[in-house]
Amino acid sequence: MDNKCAVDGSLIKTGKFISVDPFPFVQAERQEGRLIALNLPDNIAYKAIAFHTSKKSKVFLGNTIGNSKTGKINSNISQKLLEHIEALVKDHQQLFNKIIWFNKNKK
């Protein structure tokens, strides 16, 4: 069932039903299994997310699959690398897409 977000953030039932393809969710579960099997070092973080989009019904759905792994501070961190990444993001913003998940200013 489809819902809309009210001004106060609560969900309002619309009475509409939407079809969702489960394939992205199954693939995200498989991807999480692959990540776990890699036995990644503690400084590597990950999150498996499934997305479903539909142009016909104008639907965009996302769901985090399983557990996320939070990374720990890398003891081999390169300050020079961090500075280059920061400069890239600052100086070449056109290379990145900004996603606003929740509009805090919306009333």
Per the domain annotation, does 93 fall within a domain? no
Per the domain annotation, does 105 fall within a domain? no
Residues of the chain under the 50 pLDDT cut:
none
Question: Is residue 8 within 8 Å of residue 27, measured between CB atoms?
Answer: no
Return the pLDDT at 83: 95
Residue 4 tokens, joined? 């809309």
Per the domain annotation, does 12 fall within a domain? yes
The parent domain of residue 51 ranges over 3-73
Per the domain annotation, does 89 fall within a domain? no
What total of structural domains would you count in the chain?
Answer: 1
Q: How far is CA 35 from the centre of its chain?
A: 16
Model confidence over 3-17: pLDDT tens digits? 777 888 788 888 777
Return the pLDDT at 80: 94
Per the domain annotation, does 97 fall within a domain? no
Closest by CA to 71, choosing from 26, 30, 102, 35, is 35
Return the pLDDT at 4: 77
